[in-house]
Amino acid sequence: MKDIIKQMDKAFDSRVRIAIMSILMVSKDWVDFNSLKERLGVTDGNLASHTASLERRQYIEVRKRFIGKRPNTSYRVTPLGKEGFTNYVNALKQLLQIKQ
């Protein structure tokens, strides 16, 4: 079990970050901040802090631009993020299936 835990990056130890990654993993395009916020039902500050921590680990990347006169921020998963999250989920599944 030690080895399973070691494969899991603590950066994903959060139901909100797991939900963000789950959305980005299956999205073929950038997903914008407001759409993430609505789907997750979290505040601006809460979402910003979770995306910032995933960005620091280079698991997601951010795109900031203007659509007309409105600033628009969106995210997508990086190859490193895909790998890290896949390892996390696989390890999680093993944890949840353990027998004494």
Residues 50, 20 contacting (CB under 8 angstroms) = yes
- State how far the Cα of 8 lies from the Cα of 10, in Å rounded to an integer: 6
Q: What is the largest CA-CA distance in the chain?
A: 59
The window from 4-12, 50-58, 63-71, 76-84 that contacts a second copy (CB under 8 A) reads 4-12
Binding mask 30-69 for a second copy (x = CB under 8 A): ---------xxxx---------------------------
Amino acid identity of residue 87, one-letter, is: N
DSSP-based three-state secondary structure for 18: helix
Residue 4 in the binding site for a second copy (CB under 8 A): yes
What is the residue whose two structure tokens read 């659509």?
67
Nearest distance from C-beta of residue 46 to a second copy, angstroms: 11
Binding site for a second copy (CB under 8 A): 1-2, 4-6, 8, 10, 13-16, 18-19, 22-23, 26-27, 39-42, 89, 91-92, 95-96, 98-100
